[in-house]
Structure 1
């Protein structure tokens, strides 16, 4: 049963290893969607050069949720009529953000990825330059909770996906040959889209592919686990500094962004360790953070507390439950839909 604050999105997984289900159902909260929008953002962390860019970018992206996303009575994620009436460029921006966020949700729930980051944000953080022939590259990379790097390409569409898009996804997901000198354990692509079923715009669906072939122009991404973790948490720490400080909650430092009706938090122990890393103590950062997470997190954590030791709390229920969206189909779509 989907709870009142949860979304239900179905996915299909094509060419994944046999350990993955070919079709499945993801259930997640609106706060999980906001968390995924945070972690997949591409804005640089550098406050000296860009101010609070990563925070502003996230607030812009996360505001798309109460503005355009709605929860149908079934729990399925749909769009407001306003979203469907946006001009083409605005629809592209919404689809792009949703595609990245849903890739983040899929990565966490289905692939068990604890940390996921935009390739461009990591590259900007450490001054990595890509060759001229690598303009086509995967969006995201991260590490599974069980170990091993993953690479993910994210797409978003406001309608159906076609064979041409699927072929593009197959190519881009294999554009990173190695991460930190090791081939990725998994490289996949996800397309979040609102299919037309019997001519009626329907709820969100995810299509994922994971073929084996690599691109001829694939490149190597230099990445160390300590540097990766530092870059991963820096936008969260920037958010804590940019927002209005709140009282600590169960070992989390919190900051709120009043007009946006959202708060961000990070385990205090993780904040303290990452701040020491910002001052130069980066050795063993990954192992230290992993140990802190294993110590402080429990499997019974609430839905707005995530396995990376962060917390997102929003107050968008009224907006999400507005009935300013067209009726769904009559429910006669296939069971896996």
Structure 2
């Protein structure tokens, strides 16, 4: 399976382990990458209500972007397999590359936040928080304890420079608390600047930094956790389209998912059949309490979650309850070819 090289800098407690210091590599299956690609980004209710079915097409386009613009390099004794830009990507004009680079920047931010920061839900800041004047970050993430992470995501075809990272860090200078409509306050547990980039060979990499403490003013943001989840899952529900022919329920390790197969890209997407309250229920006597811990302690699911099982390439369970299953066209041999040379796109 491909490896992602990433550089971590300036992370503070509790993010001070090896994964948050210096240059490291992370095994990332195509399923895990696809999960990050289709679950991050816009989920504004206004957008969904205005565009309806076009939201589904936008998510499907993300699947195509992953499959067509990236290939898997051949592993050697000294270098593991990695993600590399395809010839299709290299043939794009600069404006198209800029758009795809930003998309990959968002994807890398979601992948890193979910894997290392235990942030299952990451979406555009403007979709949920009271608009702020001046500089603002791209993304707002939430964990199962209602702690929030602010992220600014950048994407570049070439290097992620110090100037780029400084600009990203500056955009994370937002209030230390997010206020609920009911008056409660949820802490910002981290402010992170991230960027995806490619080296001269077109190999995909990432860097992220926990910025130095920024000067804060009295601005505040208003958000309700259940509404946050509703808007996060709405694009996924729209993509699957629960009422459409072709959806089916499948059970994996005791969990039931509503799934839909997309033959054009050989991808199945599923959503865990649980109400939104399930994800935030931390009452001590509830069967659904501490869902994140329960979900990830299942040995098989945890293996798939961390891409360590034999089937990690083909099946990925996100900590947000979104499942991605890849068909045979995503096998290593096929994905090492340029898109025009594959057995199936």
Q: Which residue of 1 aligns with 2:89?
A: 83
Listed as ranges, the gaps of 5+ residues in structure 1 are 1-5, 275-281, 326-337
* Structure 1 pair 290–141 and aligned structure 2 pair: CA distance change class (3 A): farther
* Structure 1 pair 155–96 and aligned structure 2 pair: CA distance change class (3 A): same
Cα distance in 1 between the residues matched to 2:55 and 2:127: 9
Secondary structure at 1:11 match in 2: strand
Q: Which residue of 2 aligns with 1:16?
A: 11
Q: Does 2:53 align with 1:52?
A: yes
Listed as ranges, the gaps of 5+ residues in structure 2 are 76-80, 180-184, 283-287, 305-311, 341-345
Of 111, 126, 130 in structure 2, the residue corresponding to residue 105 of structure 1 is 111
Q: CA RMSD in A?
A: 2.7
Cα distance in 2 between the residues matched to 1:145 and 1:44: 21
Q: Which residue of 2 aligns with 1:92?
A: 98
Q: Does 2:190 align with 1:186?
A: yes
* 1:113 to partner: Cα distance: 1.4
Secondary structure at 1:308 match in 2: coil
Cα distance in 2 between the residues matched to 1:324 and 1:253: 30
* Structure 1 pair 296–168 and aligned structure 2 pair: CA distance change class (3 A): closer
Cα distance in 1 between the residues matched to 2:175 and 2:39: 20
More off after superposition, 49-58 vs 66-75: 49-58
Cα distance in 2 between the residues matched to 1:290 and 1:29: 29
Cα distance in 1 between the residues matched to 2:44 and 2:186: 25
Secondary structure at 2:159 match in 1: coil
More off after superposition, 171-180 vs 160-169: 171-180
Q: Which residue of 1 aligns with 2:65?
A: 64
* Structure 1 pair 159–299 and aligned structure 2 pair: CA distance change class (3 A): same
Q: Does 2:321 align with 1:309?
A: yes
Alignment of 1:35-184 (within 5 A): 35-45=35-45, 47-74=48-75, 75-122=81-128, 128=130, 130-131=131-132, 133-134=133-134, 136-144=135-143, 148-180=147-179, 181-184=185-188
* Structure 1 pair 120–31 and aligned structure 2 pair: CA distance change class (3 A): farther
* Structure 1 pair 107–87 and aligned structure 2 pair: CA distance change class (3 A): same
